[in-house]
Amino acid sequence: MSSAPDEYSTITRPGTSELRVKGSRFFGFAQAVENEKEADQLRTALRRKYYDATHQPFAYRLATGQERSSDDGEPHGTSGRSILAEIQGADLYNAQIVVVRYFGGTKLGKGGLARAFSECARLALREAGRRRVQNVNYLRLVLPPEDVNSLKVITSQFGAKISSISYEDKAKVKLAVPPSRSAACREVLHDRFGPEIFKIGA
């Protein structure tokens, strides 16, 4: 797992590709995903549509830093890693690529397979739009209403912003913090307000 970035590029629209190598057909699908569940759902939909395909290797990379790849029955290291390398090389997060393969009767060898999966993934990414996104971690806090102004002053030094706030007996705050500053921000809040600030059910 890689570290979560404060800002990243992701896919704005799906990208597709098609490649033929010695009779085998490769279909690439590059799509944006927000989490593991969404990635699973998209793969399930493709598996149902291309139910007769030989293999459907994939890879995804999330803004949380989580990465996953699968060869889906292809020779080890020839497909999933090759696809993931294309996502990493494009410096994309919250992105998944699935390559559907129909075997054409001629074995391509490990090197040939790796090149074919890489090229198909790269072509799919070329068709996908891109955009920059600010990444945040959310801290949910509870504190006396009179301490909210102090909270704003303290958290501003970490680039944090209040995403939402509600007032009852206490103020309940949803704080958006850049991932690289999240741990330090949490530590300072703990020292200033005590552990009870994180007891959202209090």
> Which residue is listed with tokens 């690529």?
97
User: pTM for this one?
Assistant: 0.76
Read off the tokens for 174.
Answer: 């949803």
Residues of the domain holding 178: 136-198
> Which residue is listed with tokens 């060898």?
109
Q: Would you mind telling me the total number of residues written for the chain in this entry?
A: 202
pLDDT in tens, the chain (202 residues): 667 788 899 999 999 999 999 999 999 999 999 999 999 999 999 999 999 999 999 999 998 889 999 999 999 989 999 999 999 999 999 999 999 999 988 888 899 999 999 999 999 999 998 899 888 889 999 999 999 999 999 999 999 999 999 998 899 999 999 988 999 999 999 999 988 888 764 4
Domain contains 2: no
Domain contains 1: no
**In this structure, are 55 and 142 located in the same domain?**
no
**In this structure, are 111 and 175 located in the same domain?**
no
Q: Distance (Å, rounded) from C-alpha 62 to C-alpha 38?
A: 11
Read off the tokens for 197.
Answer: 């600030």
